């Protein structure tokens, strides 16, 4: 195991221990994502949105926040950010299985639809783009209450084609709100490529129209993302207003478990993205810097996978919510049917 110290061996302002923590969160997000996909194939989980390829952008950006006081307004693919904010593997799996102990909704929301009040994770919905004006509202409320908190809202480049994008950014710019708009641009809005969404593929350029900075960063490089988002967070917390950060990421898996990306993406493109996987890239960088070695990396990977397997087992055995299922009155008896909680 490499010797730990406080040197910045990666050539960044990030401490070595912080770099290892980011890497562990990336590994954990990938393990949960892969196993959740298998659970949907087995019919044990209803739905999932894989985050494979987006871990670096989500984990490193959330790591730039004050996890105890700042707010996150997520969308479904932000699993890595949820883990950094404090959600455990078990809590994620309780959400995936729809169990009553799920802290997001008590098992009543779709899987990967986050909302955890205690952790400052604002409840999301499936409608694309609606999180942006909501985030501006959260930032306004925290500013009026003097909380000195920053709100980070995540969205994909597909959401930037919605009217909510304009409303959220325009309001935040006018009122100089402490909000960071983080666009994960993976080039695909489900099956629609970015060149059919916008004539200008660089989303960050739009920030100028709202009176605040926009910056594009390599979303496969967690250190670059961390440094860029840290500046945006510090700017917001200092009262200078919003920043639009665009992370150029990849989507290595289908949009969701309901999608088949082989119908609209070539194998050549998918192979290229596999070779750009941020996890082995960051692993090799940590090993080259002497922060990890092959043995410690293997031990870490095994520990993460065991943590997720244990979470799956416990969540699968947990009780479902005690709820009623109402149907239309039967022509025969006019009664409402009742579904017991064990059904």
Point out the residues that are catalytic.
251, 255, 264
As a whole number of angstroms, the distance between CA 250 and CA 32 comes to 18
> φ, ψ for residue 39 (rounded to 5)?
-65, -35
Query: Cβ of 342: how many Cβ atoms within 10 Å?
Result: 7
Give helix 16-41 / helix 294-317 axis angle, nearest 10°.
40
Give the residue among 11, 55, 17 at the shortest CA–CA distance from 277.
55
Strand partners, 246: 183, 216
Residue with tokens 């994620």, as numbered in its chain: 92
The sheet carrying 71-73 orders its strands as 71-73, 151-156, 179-185, 243-248, 214-218
Contact call for residues 263 and 233 (beta carbons, < 8 A): no
Are the C-beta atoms of 280 and 288 separated by less than 8 Å?
no
Neighbours of 336 (CB within 10 A): 12
Q: How many CA atoms lie within 13 A of 22 on its CB side?
A: 31
Reported as type and span, the H/E element at residue 35 is helix 16-41
CA 171 to chain centre: 24
Length of the chain: 343
In this structure, what DSSP letter does residue 281 have?
H
* 3-state secondary structure at position 36: helix
Report the alpha-carbon distance of residue 343 to residue 337 in Å, rounded: 13
**38 Cβ contact partners less than 8 Å away, ≥ 6 residues apart:** none
């Amino acid at each position: 195991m490499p010797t730990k110290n406080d040197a910045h061996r990666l050539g960044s302002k990030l401490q070595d221990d912080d770099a290892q923590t980011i890497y562990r969160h990336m590994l954990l997000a990938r393990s949960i994502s892969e196993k959740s996909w298998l659970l949907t194939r087995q019919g044990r989980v209803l739905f999932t949105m894989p985050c494979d390829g987006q871990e670096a952008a989500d984990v490193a950006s959330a790591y730039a926040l004050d996890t105890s006081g700042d707010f996150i307004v997520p969308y479904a693919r932000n699993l890595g950010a949820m883990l950094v904010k404090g959600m455990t593997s078990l809590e994620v799996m309780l959400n995936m299985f729809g169990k009553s102990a799920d802290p997001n909704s008590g098992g009543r929301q779709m899987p990967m639809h986050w909302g955890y009040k205690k952790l400052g994770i604002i409840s999301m919905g499936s409608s694309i783009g609606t999180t942006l004006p909501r985030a501006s509202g959260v930032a306004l409320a925290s500013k009026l209450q003097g909380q000195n908190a920053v709100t980070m809202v995540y969205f994909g480049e597909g959401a930037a084609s919605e009217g909510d994008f304009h409303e959220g950014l325009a309001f935040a710019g006018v009122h100089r709100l402490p909000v960071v708009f983080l666009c994960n641009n993976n080039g695909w809005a489900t099956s629609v490529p970015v060149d059919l969404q916008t004539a200008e593929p660089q989303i960050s350029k739009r920030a100028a129209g709202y009176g605040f900075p926009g910056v594009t960063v390599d979303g496969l490089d967690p250190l670059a993302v961390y440094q860029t988002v840290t500046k945006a967070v510090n700017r917001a917390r200092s009262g200078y207003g919003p920043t639009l950060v665009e992370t150029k990421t990849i989507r290595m898996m289908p949009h969701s478990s309901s999608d088949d990306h082989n119908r609209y993406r070539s194998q050549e493109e998918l192979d290229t993205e596999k070779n750009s996987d941020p996890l082995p890239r960051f692993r090799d960088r940590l090993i080259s810097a002497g922060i990890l070695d092959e043995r410690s990396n293997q031990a870490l990977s095994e520990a993460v996978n065991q943590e997720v397997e244990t979470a799956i087992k416990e969540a699968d055995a947990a009780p479902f919510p005690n709820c009623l299922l109402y149907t239309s009155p039967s022509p025969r008896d006019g009664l409402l049917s009742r579904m017991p909680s064990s059904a």
